Structure 1
Amino acid sequence: MRILLVEDDARVAGAMASALSRRGYDVERAPTAAAALAAAPCDLVLLDLTLPDGDGVEVCRVLRQRSARLGIIAVTARGEERDRVLGLRMGADDYVVKPFSMAELEARIVAVLRRAGGAEPGPGTIEVGPLWIDVAARLVTLHGRQVGLTRKEFDILVSLARQPGAVVPHERILLDVWPTTWAARHTVEVHVGSLRGKLGDPDLVQSVRGVGYRLRTE
């Protein structure tokens, strides 16, 4: 697997690149936003959000626009909740705050790459009213209109669509979508909010206060 490491601190980038190479990853380093956007295609990006020539959040947005399947993990010292929320909304799959252990980072890399591989259990297609999901191809249409979703948004929708009309607890969604890494309930809320906006029907995914979410069937 090929990883693009976007980090302007040469010492930090060198240590991370060496550790990742020892674990069998092919690592390319990019010290700036411009270099990140000009880099060759990869499987996953480890993205510092504070770069000398631009905001990493904007880099994240552009990379996500280019590919819905690209794995993106924000790796940054910016640990405030608003930074986490913004990073996730711009398309990051996960968010790691410095300092961190390589064991934690690798667990998150494995989780994101596994999802990027597109392996999904269950039926090939799911239909819930006007909503149609091709699980294998990771395609969604609503009223005949194709809806472009990030990987996490898609996985949340599939988790709900497999139990249409039933309340799916937050914990179940976390287990389905973030099975090998840590994620908070607020992370689910951020992705659900973005999912609703892209579906264009805020009531299609209904909140059940204190419990979870339900996919409307009518």
Structure 2
Amino acid sequence: MKVLIVDDDLDILNIVRTACENESMQTSTAANAEELWSSLRSEKPDVILLDIMLPDANGLDLVKKIRTMYSRIPIIFLTARKSDLDMILGLELGADDYVTKPFNPRALVARIKAVMRRTEISGTLEDKLTIGDAVVNLKSYTVTKNGKSEELTRREFELLKLLAENPGRVFTREELLDKVWGMDFFGDFRTVDVHISKLREKVGEGFIKTVRGVGYKFVIGEQR
């Protein structure tokens, strides 16, 4: 596994690199956005650890650009910014996880492994999923609707697939966090709400219903 660590704090770089290499992960580092792009051009990593506050760029802006070029690479924000707004925005923009500093290096490695396990599972999917007028490509993580194509983030994709494969079943927010984000994810229920909102925008408003006080369910045909 190749891990690209992007942070302008040399101490953080060394801590993370040592923790990853102790688990036999290959690492490369970048101290700013320029070095990030240079590294991506030379060798594509399996996962990116990205600081939000870089000297020459904002990580929230960078994640959007990375997603347009490398939509399948998992991204974990590693940042000192702890506000709920930053976390929600980061996940909404396409990050796969959000880790705040200070952190336990072993816990961080566990989060990296969890993200990669979910990537490997979703990478085995084939064919397409049709939802009303929308067609979801399970290989490219895209939704095509009325001639317009949009990319799904990895989390949006996994959340949609889980709901669509279980029509009529009500999932609590806690269940969705466990099944899509994993038991080791430390976010809260608002993370689910943000991703549901984005899916409704991309796929259609009528397919994911809110069950008040409980969670969400996927509905088709007469159920809608």
Please tell me the TM-score bracket, short chain as reference: 0.7 to 0.9
State whether residues 118 and 138 of structure 1, in contact with CA within 8 Å, keep that contact through their aligned partners in structure 2: no
RMSD (CA atoms): 2.3
Question: Secondary structure in 1 aligned to 2:95?
Answer: coil
Give the whole-Å Cα distance in 1 for the aligned partners of 2:117 and 2:109: 12
Give the whole-Å Cα distance in 2 for the aligned partners of 1:58 and 1:138: 21
**TM-score, normalization by structure 2:** 0.86
Q: In percent, how many aligned pairs have the same letter?
A: 35
Q: 1:85 to 1:115 in 2, by over 3 A?
A: same
Q: How does 1:7-18 map to 2 (within 5 A)?
A: 7-18=7-18
| 1:84 alignment partner in structure 2 | 87
Give runs of ≥4 in structure 1 deviating > 3 Å: 118-147
Q: How far apart are 1:96 and its partner, in Å?
A: 0.4
Question: Secondary structure in 2 aligned to 1:117?
Answer: helix
State whether residues 129 and 136 of structure 2, in contact with CA within 8 Å, keep that contact through their aligned partners in structure 1: yes
**Paired AA for residue 66 in structure 1:** M
Report the more deviating stretch, 161-170 or 126-135.
126-135
**Paired AA for residue 88 in structure 1:** L
Unaligned stretches of 5+ residues in structure 1? none
**TM-score, normalization by structure 1:** 0.88
**Paired AA for residue 25 in structure 1:** M
Q: 1:34 to 1:197 in 2, by over 3 A?
A: farther
Unaligned stretches of 5+ residues in structure 2? none
Q: How far apart are 1:17 and its partner, in Å?
A: 0.8
Q: How far apart are 1:32 and its partner, in Å?
A: 0.3
Aligned residues between the structures: 217
| 1:191 alignment partner in structure 2 | 195
State whether residues 143 and 150 of structure 2, in contact with CA within 8 Å, keep that contact through their aligned partners in structure 1: yes
Question: Secondary structure in 1 aligned to 2:19?
Answer: helix
Within the alignment, does 1:111 sit opposite 2:114 as a pair? yes
Q: 1:135 to 1:61 in 2, by over 3 A?
A: closer
| 1:33 alignment partner in structure 2 | 33
Q: How does 1:1-218 map to 2 (within 5 A)?
A: 1-40=1-40, 41-119=44-122, 126-133=129-136, 135=138, 140-142=143-145, 146-182=149-185, 183-199=187-203, 201-218=204-221
Give the whole-Å Cα distance in 2 for the aligned partners of 1:63 and 1:107: 23
Q: 1:124 to 1:38 in 2, by over 3 A?
A: same
Give the whole-Å Cα distance in 1 for the aligned partners of 2:121 and 2:46: 12
